[in-house]
A and B are shown apart, each in its own frame.
Chain A
Amino acid sequence: LAKTTQPISMDSYEGQEVNITCSHNNIATNDYITWYQQFPSQGPRFIIQGYKTKVTNEVASLFIPADRKSSTLSLPRVSLSDTAVYYCLVGYGQNFVFGPGTRLSVLP
């Protein structure tokens, strides 16, 4: 049974690096992991996607170990505007499933 888990919430301070982990034990061999950010009253917005090892773009990094049973979204030097809910989206063959979301609160 496909199951994706994330921490419910995290707190951080401005300027710190934040790491959010998603566990996905049954990820399909050919499927990717994608992370989305959601602000209140808005739809989720794409942040980053990866298959294995490390991917970096202008806003985040994504670390995926060799067994691909988990992934870690890394947000460098967060600001107040990064306060949001972060979801991982994982493919399980014919299906893909959003995780339960991690509510990140960035404090001044």
Chain B
Amino acid sequence: EAGVAQSPRYKIIEKRQSVAFWCNPISGHATLYWYQQILGQGPKLLIQFQNNGVVDDSQLPKDRFSAERLKGVDSTLKIQPAKLEDSAVYLCASSFVAGTSTDTQYFGPGTRLTVL
């Protein structure tokens, strides 16, 4: 079974530029998550989709971050404009069912973003 795919693996940009990350979840997984992981910290949930609808985006900085999951499959997370504090690893995960604490989440390798 193929795992969660993410691209790119690394990205370096200057502040105020824009950047986009792509995620392809495990086939058949209804729920998709985007996390931000700052160095030395646990992952922080940014947004959770169930199929193509948003379940939770309460921690997404909506003035600069946006995400979409068209057709309920792959997803894109965008930052525009980037700030220095956005430097982090952006993790995508998926789970088979409803996105509760009981669901096993399968994570991709992440995209490491450096904002200069």
Contacts and interface: CB of A to CB of B under 8 A. Distances in A.
A93 to B, nearest CB: 9
**B interface: dominant SS:** loop
* Contact-size category for A: 20 to 34
A44 B106 CA distance: 8
B1 to A, nearest CB: 14
Contacts of B56: 94-95
B47 to A, nearest CB: 13
A89 interface: yes
Interface stretch (B36-44, B63-71, B72-80): B36-44
B71 to A, nearest CB: 23
A96 B105 CA distance: 12
Interface of A: 28, 31-32, 34, 36, 41-46, 49, 87, 89-91, 94-101
